[in-house]
Amino acid sequence: MSGQALLVVPTGDADEHTLSGTCVCGPTSETCFDLAGEMVGWVTVHHSLDNREHTERIGIQENPN
């Protein structure tokens, strides 16, 4: 499983994300390790352009059920 890459991109966003090169959302990448500490790959997360993370966080805080 060494060297695999995962890409997380929001669907139905305010604008299209560029999957190659530099995206306007400023995606972040992290190296992933297994339980033994061996690097197994990377995950790149694109951030929403419609601020849905903020709205979802507020909804979770306001609705404890």
10-64 confidence digits (pLDDT tens)? 888 888 899 876 899 999 999 999 999 999 999 999 988 887 877 665 555 544 4
Overall pTM surpassing 0.75 (yes/no) = no
pLDDT of residue 31: 94
Name the residue among 58, 60, 47, 55 with its Cα closest to residue 14. 47
Tokens encoding 37: 């500490």
pLDDT of residue 65: 47
pLDDT of residue 50: 85
pLDDT of residue 14: 85
**pLDDT exceeds 80 at position 1:** no
